Amino acid sequence: MKRYPRSFLQLVTLGQFLVVIPLLVMAGYALFTVHQLSQHYLATTGTISELGRLSGELTEDVQHMEIYLRRYEILGDAESLGDYEHVREEWRGHLSAFAQLQMLPAEMIRESQSLMDVELNAHNALIANGDVAIVRSVIDEMRIRTTKLREEVQALIVQDQQGIKTMAENVFKHTFIALLLATVGTLAIVMLVRRLLSRLLGGFEQAVLALGHGKLQTPILLDGPDDLRWLGRWMDWLRRRLLSLEESRTQVLRHVSHELKTPLAAMREGTSLLSDQVVGKLTPDQEKILDIVRDNVFRLQDLIEGLLNLQMAGHAAERIDFEWLCYDELIEQVTHTHRLIAQERKIRIVLQLAPTKILAGREALLTIVHNLLSNAVKFSPAAGTICIQLSADNAHCMLDVFDQGPGVPEPERHRLAEPFYRGSTSKNLPGAGLGLAIASEFILAHRGNLKVGTAPGGGAHFRVTLPLDAPYLRKGMHE
């Protein structure tokens, strides 16, 4: 069973539909409850109107029955008795309709039936023996009971109106609760859809960043709809292509560097023989030319060795032999080799080193410290001060190198780790721009980071942060 739709667009459309579902459910519930309230209101209003009308008709019928009965009692004519009979039938019809209303309580229905029975017995007596007195007494009772019935109807109307109001309030409350639930449900679905899309797009972003940073060893496999996975396969093809080109470039660089070292050695030997005047004494102009050739031979040798070191640093993570080292002692060892050059320029090196044990590669760590210190010595002014600090917490150690040189302009800091890059402050200084690039490769191989800032005195501040004992390093050491 497929986990995703066929395309990313279909996934987005499905997410939008899921977001709308709670709102549609809430709207349907609101329409249903409002419709129910409307139907109940119409039915109740109709019944209340009918109750009011019938109660008024019953009161008028009783009054007319009393009038016609008195006229019949005085005149004794058949017309008055006929009018009485006609009004009586209307009264009984109205009372019967009154008793059949659905919202009428059982007590009022029984009261209506009892009143109808009482009136029927009195009417039978009137027809049988012309007893008007009993009918008159019953009419008096009917007036009293009809008045009471009408009052009960008024109370019932007020009660029903209050019930409609209460029901409307409940509908509003329930609709408000439904709106809140729909809003929460919509937000929850929005967050889930956003999380899903963020995860899918995040995988794509990580793959692009990995390609941009040259991390070509990890295969690219994107999850999601068919078009996104298809894009992942093409990106993995691009990764393999870039990896192949990188390997070809590295191989060419290695071969070229190796082939250049042989004639370079011959050139060094030749300049050495000329300098020793083996073939005869040189003129002053010839010695100047020889110095130029010798300086460029050494510069070319440094450049070739730098390229080889950079190529080795690019694959450092695969070949580093991790071991427990005393980081502070290793820094002192590197500093000792640079003190002679520093003393020639009266540069003072101050060490503030906390005893630190670290799991790292010895040669890689030596190269990192050596390149940072060489960079600080090269850029420091005469009689300047270089401060090297080493501190650590439970998981990481921090190496800080401060100098009093011109510093690094902030727009150029992010490019210092690029091979052959030389900033605006190093244009007139010797070097190929490979030292920090090599150090950066070794730092990344240890899963650390290099940050560049400004020293308190205005010079450059380099901070190298390395893990003390990363689990994957310990595992690799044991294996």
For 51-66, write each residue's pLDDT tens digit. Answer: 778 778 888 888 888 8
Of the listed ranges 161-165, 228-232, 305-309, 405-409, the least confidently predicted one is 305-309
| pLDDT at position 471 over 50 | no
Q: Which two tokens stand for residue 332?
A: 């002192």
Mean local confidence (pLDDT), 399-409:
87
For 223-266, write each residue's pLDDT tens digit. Answer: 888 888 888 888 888 888 887 877 776 666 666 666 666 676 77
Topology of domain 8-192, per CATH?
Four Helix Bundle (Hemerythrin (Met), subunit A) (1.20.120)
Domains 8-192 and 317-478 share a fold: no
Mean local confidence (pLDDT), 122-127:
80
Among 67-71, 366-370, 385-389, the range of highest mean pLDDT: 385-389
The pLDDT score that the predictor gives to residue 122 is 81
DSSP state, 154? H
Mean local confidence (pLDDT), 158-186:
83
Domain residue limits, the chain? 8-192, 226-311, 317-478
Euclidean distance between CA atoms 63 and 116, whole angstroms: 16
The pLDDT score that the predictor gives to residue 319 is 62
The pLDDT score that the predictor gives to residue 124 is 83
For 204-218, write each residue's pLDDT tens digit. Answer: 888 888 777 667 778
Mean local confidence (pLDDT), 90-108:
80
The pLDDT score that the predictor gives to residue 25 is 85
| pLDDT at position 317 over 60 | no
Residues with Cβ within 8 Å of residue 253, at least 6 apart in sequence: 307, 311
Distance (Å) of CA 346 to CA 33, 264, 340, 377:
91, 34, 10, 11
| pLDDT at position 1 over 50 | no
Could you tell me the pLDDT band of residue 419, with boundaries at 50, 70 and 90?
low
Is pLDDT larger for residue 90 or for residue 10?
A: 90
**pTM score, two decimals?**
0.46
For 288-298, write each residue's pLDDT tens digit. Answer: 777 777 767 76
Q: Write down the mean pLDDT value for the chain.
A: 79
Instruction: Quote the distance between the C-alpha of residue 470 and its chain's center.
Output: 29
The pLDDT score that the predictor gives to residue 474 is 44
Euclidean distance between CA atoms 426 and 421, whole angstroms: 10
| pLDDT at position 202 over 60 | yes
Say whether 223 sits in a helix, a strand or coil. coil
Topology of domain 317-478, per CATH?
Heat Shock Protein 90 (3.30.565)
| pLDDT at position 361 over 90 | no
Share of the chain above pLDDT 70, in %: 84
| pLDDT at position 5 over 90 | no
Euclidean distance between CA atoms 266 and 272, whole angstroms: 10
Are β-strands 460-467 and 396-402 bridged in parallel, bridged antiparallel, or unpaired? antiparallel
